[in-house]
């Protein structure tokens, strides 16, 4: 399993340097910076043996570019739950590590700005919302601390992966399932707001379940049959 750390709008050079060092502690080979505010030159002073990783970090201007080549995207937030908010239905870091990581191939983990975190638009681009449980009196962690805790939990799983499990469905296979389910949603929930909420929940549910190749194929077969029935006998699945 490979991990890519994605920092959106990182503001503090000290935090950036410490994060680069932490990545080296846990064998993370890829660091992406989305529109960084912090000075990379200043951050190098705090990166210790993470200086090489920081020097070859990939700087992009759009979040989507940081997701190229990964199977799953996990966004992080201190606000993990808000009733009635489809975006704020997080799983805990422990659940993420236990249920997702054992069958993951390459995961991008996204951390937001020190001051404001990730925007709602940025959160919507992720497959998972993951939160690190902390005191309700002050649940907001410093970003470098959050990265360290996250990577430590992931590191504990390294070498403990079961080998007698079915192959996990690829991102491309899951997107085919979601595209077909979205076609069904467009027919049964034509109002844009409800349709978008349904699409988001379906995406989160499907990717959270980490289906196997076989399970994804069965779901795709079912979804295409449902869509064909709804559209009539003349419909042909793509």
Read off the tokens for 180: 């077909």
Lowest mean pLDDT among 10-14, 16-20, 216-220, 232-236: 232-236
- Residue 100 CA to residue 204 CA, distance in Å, equals 12
pLDDT (0 to 100) of residue 159: 46
9-20 pLDDT tens trace: 999 999 999 999
75-132 pLDDT tens trace: 999 887 667 778 788 989 999 998 887 777 899 999 999 999 999 999 999 998 999 9
Specify which residues 30 forms β-bridges with: 4
Beta strands in 10-166 (DSSP E): 30-34, 58-60, 72-76, 91-92, 106-111, 128-131
Residue 220: C-alpha distances to residues 128, 168, 179, 208 (Å): 21, 15, 9, 17
Say what the alpha-carbon torsion angle 213, 70, 51, 119 is, to the nearest 10 degrees. Answer: -130
- For residue 163, give every residue at least 6 positions away whose Cβ sits within 8 Å of its Cβ, in sequence order, or none: none
pLDDT at 212 over 60: yes
pLDDT (0 to 100) of residue 87: 79
Name the band, by pLDDT with cuts 50, 70 and 90, for residue 185: very high
Kindly provide the b/e burial profile for residues 83-117, where b requires at least 16 CB atoms within 10 angstroms of the residue's own CB.
eeebbbbbbebeebbeebbebbeebbbbbbbbeeb
pLDDT (0 to 100) of residue 149: 97
Mean of the pLDDT values across residues 155-163? 63
Q: Is 117 left (phi over 0), alpha (psi -120 to 50) or beta?
A: left
Residue 212: C-alpha distances to residues 28, 45, 219, 223 (Å): 26, 44, 11, 16
pLDDT (0 to 100) of residue 84: 74
* Averaged confidence pLDDT in the chain: 90
- Residue 187 CA to residue 16 CA, distance in Å, equals 46
Is residue 108 within 8 A of residue 73, CB to CB? The reply is: yes
Q: In what order do the strands lie in the sheet with 72-76?
A: 58-60, 30-34, 2-8, 106-111, 72-76, 128-131, 91-92
Mean of the pLDDT values across residues 147-158? 90
């Amino acid at each position: 399993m490979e991990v890519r750390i994605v920092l959106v709008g990182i503001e503090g050079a000290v935090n950036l340097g410490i994060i680069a060092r932490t990545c080296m502690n846990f064998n993370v080979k890829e660091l992406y910076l989305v529109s960084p505010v912090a000075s990379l030159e200043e951050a190098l002073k705090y990166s210790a043996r993470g200086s090489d990783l920081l020097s070859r970090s990939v700087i992009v201007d759009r979040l989507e570019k940081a997701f190229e080549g990964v199977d799953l995207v996990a966004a992080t937030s201190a606000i993990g739950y808000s009733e009635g908010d489809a975006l704020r239905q997080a799983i805990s870091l422990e659940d993420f590590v236990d249920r997702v990581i054992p069958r993951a191939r390459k995961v991008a983990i996204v951390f937001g700005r020190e001051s404001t975190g990730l925007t709602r638009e940025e959160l919507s681009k992720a497959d998972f919302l993951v939160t690190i449980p902390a005191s309700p009196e002050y649940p907001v962690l410093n970003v470098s601390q959050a990265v360290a805790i996250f990577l430590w939990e992931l590191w504990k799983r390294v070498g403990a992966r079961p080998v007698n499990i079915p192959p996990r469905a690829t991102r491309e296979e899951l997107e085919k399932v979601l595209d077909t389910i979205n076609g069904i949603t467009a027919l049964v929930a034509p109002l844009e707001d409800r349709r978008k909420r349904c699409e988001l929940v379906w995406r989160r549910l499907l990717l959270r379940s980490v289906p196997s190749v076989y399970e994804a194929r069965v779901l795709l077969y079912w979804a295409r049959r449902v869509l064909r029935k709804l559209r009539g006998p003349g419909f042909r699945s793509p």
